[in-house]
């Protein structure tokens, strides 16, 4: 527990502490005071005082002021912890906001963001340059418009659970008795939600593993989506090669799907087996060869997987480049504290994972890919990031809209979060559906009412 006189910032200050290895035991006292436009944050670590005054020109009223109070309190704690522990983190004091979102806000205010990133937020030169490249690649697709709509459908089932996975999804064998009811409820919600679409930009069926469903069940969902599809980008997170078949690929194509994910995570069969993914690298290549002329393909990789060193990860990146899908997404392993893996795994150091991520950046950009979307989560190895890379003109509109929160998202299914944006994303209202399938089924009518209010209210 941090001793602070800004109670409302307790959890955000804790996020800063979580960034530093071994900082849990440091005794932290934080005091904020304000004198005209001067904020003073005094941070005492293990009894030693680190005091910072920040001259702030507050122009934007109360909301903007609160934002700045938060920013400078976190920054002061970051600087104190960085001095005490000797650790400098790649993303500096940036937590709780997507890097590109903050960069776009700065660009809008003062025309550029790089000085603010490096000098104020203590972001490294490399990560500042990465953010700049992402913004450059997103040009032409990034569009702040409250009418723009992305349509999302969530399938919470998988052929088996992977050991590292941090997403909500059930093994389809153990959830079998609820699957039909879930598909029917989903079709009902899709039909009901069609009227909330303003200007359709993209459709995304995510998971879990949508193609873990039987063809018959999957087709029911695809037929419901047919009624709203106007020929936009349409992604299905097919994901696991062990459930991708000629037959489901053909069906996706017939229903207008344009993009699918076929995810290796790694090309090491030893790691795949350890993770419980029930497929081999060879199967992945076989399914990719079936699909590559039918769809634009994305491949997900993860840096920092259990038992992998730099060379194993490098081979996976090199193999993905050799196969040449339109998109490659490089995730950094994210392990929640207290999870099975956090307790059992020999975790790689931040430096080792950082070398992997740097290699992926160099190799992919040398081979014609550009970074095009970027996000960070809590508990990521080395405090790094996930980056989507794309070949020229193949960037996924859905990923950009969702990461930047600049379009409304009409989301259906358990664990789906619908969003309505106002003033190009300056204000966002949300409706979150229950994560658990049974609760979702029981609350469907309530969810529909909430969505009606969200998308149809006048303000």
Ligand X SMILES: C[S@@+](CC[C@H](N)C(=O)[O-])C[C@H]1O[C@@H](n2cnc3c(N)ncnc32)[C@H](O)[C@@H]1O
Report the interface residues with ligand X, using CB under 6 A: 158, 164-167, 207-209, 237, 239-240, 263, 265, 300, 302, 331, 333-334
Among 71, 127, 201, 240, which residue sits at the site for ligand SF4 (rule: CB under 6 A)? 240
Q: How far apart are CA 348 and CA 366, in angstroms?
A: 26
- Which partner from the list ligand X, ligand SF4, none does 334 bind, CB cut-off 5 to 8 Å by kind? ligand X
- Which partner from the list ligand SF4, ligand X, none does 14 bind, CB cut-off 5 to 8 Å by kind? none
- Residue 354 near ligand SF4 by CB under 6 A: no
Comparing CB distances to ligand X, the nearer of 209 and 399 is 209
With residue 362 as reference, give the H or E element that holds it.
helix 350-366
Q: How far is the CB of 328 from ligand SF4 (least distance, A)?
A: 16
Q: How far apart are CA 319 and CA 323, in angstroms?
A: 6
Q: How far is the CB of 380 from ligand X (least distance, A)?
A: 8
Comparing CB distances to ligand X, the nearer of 156 and 425 is 156
With residue 408 as reference, give the H or E element that holds it.
strand 408-412
What b/e string do you get for 159-175 counting C-beta neighbours within 10 Å, with b at 16 or more?
bbebbbbeeebbebeeb
- Which partner from the list ligand X, ligand SF4, none does 155 bind, CB cut-off 5 to 8 Å by kind? none
The DSSP call for residue 117 is I
- Which partner from the list ligand X, ligand SF4, none does 258 bind, CB cut-off 5 to 8 Å by kind? none
Comparing CB distances to ligand X, the nearer of 41 and 265 is 265
- Residue 137 near ligand SF4 by CB under 6 A: no
41 close to 72: Cβ distance less than 8 angstroms: yes
Comparing CB distances to ligand X, the nearer of 165 and 194 is 165
End-to-end CA separation in angstroms for the chain: 39
- Which partner from the list ligand X, ligand SF4, none does 161 bind, CB cut-off 5 to 8 Å by kind? ligand SF4
Binding range to ligand SF4, per CB under 6 A, among 4-12, 92-100, 162-170, 356-364: 162-170
Binding range to ligand SF4, per CB under 6 A, among 161-169, 393-401, 407-415, 421-429: 161-169
What b/e string do you get for 248-283 counting C-beta neighbours within 10 Å, with b at 16 or more?
bbebbeebebbbbbbbbbbbbeebbebbebbbbbeb
- Residue 209 near ligand SF4 by CB under 6 A: yes
| Distant-in-sequence, close-in-space partners of 372: CB < 8 Å, separation ≥ 6 | 134, 137, 138, 388, 389, 390, 395, 396, 399, 400
- Which partner from the list ligand SF4, ligand X, none does 333 bind, CB cut-off 5 to 8 Å by kind? ligand X
Comparing CB distances to ligand SF4, the nearer of 225 and 305 is 305
Q: How far apart are CA 334 and CA 376, in angstroms?
A: 10
* Greatest Cα pair distance in the chain: 68
Task: Please report, as residue ranges, which positions from 169 to 208 form the binding site for ligand SF4 (by CB under 6 A).
Answer: 169, 207-208
Residue with smallest beta-carbon separation from ligand X: 239
Q: How far is the CB of 302 from ligand X (least distance, A)?
A: 5
Q: How far is the CB of 71 from ligand X (least distance, A)?
A: 27
If we measure between CA atoms, which residue out of 257, 283, 256, 251 comes closest to residue 159?
283
72 close to 57: Cβ distance less than 8 angstroms: no
- Residue 167 near ligand SF4 by CB under 6 A: yes
301 forms bridges with which residues in the sheet?
265, 330
Comparing CB distances to ligand X, the nearer of 237 and 326 is 237
Among 28, 102, 158, 317, which residue sits at the site for ligand SF4 (rule: CB under 6 A)? 158
Q: How far is the CB of 207 from ligand SF4 (least distance, A)?
A: 6
Q: Which 3 state secondary structure label does DSSP give 374?
A: strand
| Distant-in-sequence, close-in-space partners of 50: CB < 8 Å, separation ≥ 6 | 42, 43, 44, 76, 79, 80, 83, 84
106 close to 77: Cβ distance less than 8 angstroms: no
Q: How far is the CB of 266 from ligand SF4 (least distance, A)?
A: 12
| Site residues for ligand SF4 per CB under 6 A | 158, 161-162, 165, 167, 169, 207-209, 239-240
């Amino acid at each position: 527990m941090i001793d602070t006189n800004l109670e409302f910032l307790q959890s955000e200050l804790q996020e800063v502490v979580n960034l530093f290895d071994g900082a849990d035991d440091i005794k932290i006292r934080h005091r904020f005071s304000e004198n005209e436009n001067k904020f003073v944050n005094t941070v005492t670590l293990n009894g030693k005082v680190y005091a910072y005054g920040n001259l702030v020109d507050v122009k934007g009223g109360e909301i903007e002021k609160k934002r700045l109070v938060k920013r400078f309190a976190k920054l002061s704690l970051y600087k104190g912890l960085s001095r005490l522990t000797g650790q400098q983190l790649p993303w500096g004091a940036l937590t709780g906001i997507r890097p590109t979102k903050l960069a776009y806000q700065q660009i809008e205010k003062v025309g550029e963001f790089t000085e603010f990133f490096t000098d104020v937020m203590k972001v490294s030169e490399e990560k500042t340059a990465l953010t700049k490249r992402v913004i450059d690649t997103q040009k032409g697709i990034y569009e702040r418009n409250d009418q723009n709509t992305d349509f999302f459908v969530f399938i919470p089932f998988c052929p088996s659970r992977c050991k590292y996975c941090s997403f909500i999804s059930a093994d389809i064998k153990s959830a079998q008795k609820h699957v039909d009811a879930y598909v029917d409820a989903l079709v009902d919600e899709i039909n009901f939600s069609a009227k909330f679409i303003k200007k359709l930009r993209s459709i995304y069926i995510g998971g879990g593993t949508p193609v873990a469903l039987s063809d018959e069940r999957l087709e029911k969902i695809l037929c419901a989506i047919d009624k709203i599809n106007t020929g936009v980008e349409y992604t299905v997170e097919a994901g696991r090669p062990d459930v991708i078949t000629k037959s489901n690929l053909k069906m996706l194509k017939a229903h207008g799907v344009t993009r699918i994910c076929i995810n290796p995570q790694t090309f090491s069969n030893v790691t795949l087996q350890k993770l419980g993914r029930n497929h081999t690298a060879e199967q992945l290549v076989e399914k990719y060869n079936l699909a590559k002329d039918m769809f634009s393909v994305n491949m997900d990789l993860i840096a920092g997987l259990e038992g992998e060193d730099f060379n194993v990860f490098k081979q996976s990146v090199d193999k993905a480049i050799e196969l040449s899908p339109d998109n490659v997404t490089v995730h950094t392993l994210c392990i929640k504290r207290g999870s099975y893996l956090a307790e059992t795994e020999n975790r790689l150091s931040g430096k080792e994972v950082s070398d992997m991520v740097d290699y992926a950046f160099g190799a992919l950009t040398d081979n014609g890919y550009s970074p095009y979307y970027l996000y960070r989560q809590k508990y990521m190895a080395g405090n790094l990031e996930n980056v989507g890379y794309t070949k020229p003109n193949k960037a996924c509109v859905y990923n950009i809209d969702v990461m930047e929160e600049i379009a409304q998202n009409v989301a259906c299914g358990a664990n789906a979060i619908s969003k309505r944006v106002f003033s190009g994303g300056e204000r966002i209202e949300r409706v979150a559906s229950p994560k658990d399938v049974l609760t979702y089924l029981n609350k469907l009518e309530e969810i529909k009412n909430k969505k009606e209010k969200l998308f149809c209210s006048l303000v």
